[in-house]
Amino acid sequence: MRSDTIARELATQGYSVVPQFLSGTDISPEFIAHLESANKFRDGVIYDIPGTQMAGIQSKVVALIPEVAKELGITINSEVYGYSAIRIQRTEEPASLRKPFTVHSDPKTAPGGVLNWHIDHFSYYVYRDHTNWLICYMPVAKPSRKLANLAIIPKNVVEDLDPDLARRIQGRGAARFRCVESDTIDWFKLRFPNETIQIGDWFAIDDYDDSTMGWKIKLDLERHKVVPELAEKDLLVMRADVIHRTHDAGTDRISIRCDAMPLHAAKINTRLGLLGLTLRYPFMGAKRRYNLKNVIKQGWRLGLG
C-alpha cells in the first residue's frame, strides 16, 4: 500500500491496515519463544525485546513510516522509535468488580491483559503530544484473524457524532471511556457527584487534567466501533489520539508495537533524558506526577546511562 493512501486514511478515519507488511524471515521461532515468556512491565507491556531479532521489522518500519508522516503533515523523529510487545492471553472470564470503589481506579478489571476503551496514557504523561505520534501494531503470533483484534472508534465518526469530544481529545491522551452499568453506577456517582447519571450513559474519564474528573459524552462507543481483522504479519497504523481497546481475548496473541514519536521527544531511557524528566516532575500536575513517580524511581534504580 502506498504511503499517500495510508496517510489519507489516517487523516480521515485515524487508522489504516497494511496486509502482510512483514514476511516470515522477519519473525524467528526464537523471537516468539522469548516474547511468550518475557516479563511484563507494570503497564502490561513487554519492553525486553532483543535488538538482534528486530532488524527486519525495524527496516520496514523505517522505510514506510517517515513517508507516511510527511504525507500526513506531522513531524516525527525519524531516528527514534519506541519498540515494545503486547501479549494477550486467551480467556473467557468476564471483567470483575473492584470493590470498594475508589474515585480514581476503574470499577472493573479484565483478565488476560485486555484493556478497556482508552487513549494511551504513559506517552502523553511524558511528551504531551499525540498529534505528532503514530502507533504501529504488528501481530506476530495470532492463530485467528477474527479473534484478539483491536476495536477502534474512527476519527470521522467522533467528529460527526460528538464534535465536542473530537475537539477535546484532538492530540490528547491519558483518558478512559466507560459506560454506566447497573453494577458500576455507584462508582460513577462517586466520581461525578454533580451529574445526573443513568445506566447506559457514557463518560470520558480524564486522567491528565487536574481541573476535571471527566465529562459525559454523546457517543455509544460499542455501537460505533470498528474491528479490523488482522492476521499475523499485518500492520495496523493508528494516530495516537484515536480511541481504542482490546476487542476480545478469544485467543492468545503477541503483537510488536512501534511508536513513531514527536521530533522533540527526548530519550527518557538514557541518564540525560531521565534527568530532564526528573527536573520537570515537581512542576507537573498531580495526576501526571502520580503516574510517573514509579517510572522515574525505577529508572534511577536501574542506573540508566
302 and 204 fall within a common domain: no
297 and 167 fall within a common domain: no
24 and 123 fall within a common domain: yes
**Residue 305's pLDDT is what?**
47
Highest mean pLDDT among 38-52, 74-88, 155-169, 277-291: 155-169
pLDDT digits (tens, 9 = 90+) for 136-154: 999 999 999 999 999 999 9
Asked whether the beta carbons of 113 and 206 are under 8 A apart, the reply is: no
241 and 292 fall within a common domain: no
In this prediction, residues 36-64 reach a mean pLDDT of: 87
Query: Is pLDDT above 80 for 91?
Result: yes
In this prediction, residues 94-103 reach a mean pLDDT of: 93
144 and 67 fall within a common domain: yes
In this prediction, residues 246-263 reach a mean pLDDT of: 94
pLDDT digits (tens, 9 = 90+) for 278-303: 999 999 999 999 989 988 887 788 66
Query: Is pLDDT above 60 for 99?
Result: yes
Burial of 178 (0-12, 13-18, 19+ CB in 10 A): buried
304 and 187 fall within a common domain: no
149 and 173 fall within a common domain: yes
- Secondary structure of the chain as H, E, C letters: CCHHHHHHHHHHCCEEEECCCCCHHHCCHHHHHHHHHCCCCCCCEECCCCHHHCHHHHHHHHHHHHHHHHHHCCCEEEEEEEEEEEEECCCCCCCEECCCCCCCCCCEECCCCCCCCEECCHHHHHHCCCCCCEEEEEEEECCCCCCCCEEECCHHHHHHHCHHHHHHHCCCCCEEEEECCCCCHHHHHHHCCCCCCCCCCEEEEECCCCCCCEEEECCCHHHHCECCCCCCCCEEEEECCCCEEECCCCCCEEEEEEEEEECCCCCCCCHHHHHHHHHHHHHCCHHHHHHHHHHHHHHHHCCCC
pLDDT digits (tens, 9 = 90+) for 68-90: 999 999 999 998 899 999 999 99
pLDDT digits (tens, 9 = 90+) for 182-217: 999 999 999 999 999 999 999 999 999 999 999 999
* 42 pLDDT tier (thresholds 50, 70, 90): low
301 and 201 fall within a common domain: no
27 and 176 fall within a common domain: yes
79 and 183 fall within a common domain: yes
User: Comparing 100-109, 164-173, 226-235, which segment has the lowest mean pLDDT?
Assistant: 100-109
**Residue 295's pLDDT is what?**
80
260 and 215 fall within a common domain: yes
Average pLDDT, the chain: 93
199 and 136 fall within a common domain: yes
In one-letter notation, the amino acid at residue 235 is L
Q: Residue 242 belongs to what domain range?
A: 3-265
Q: How many domains does the chain have?
A: 2
Single pTM value for the model = 0.94
Say which CATH number the domain at 253 has.
2.60.120.620
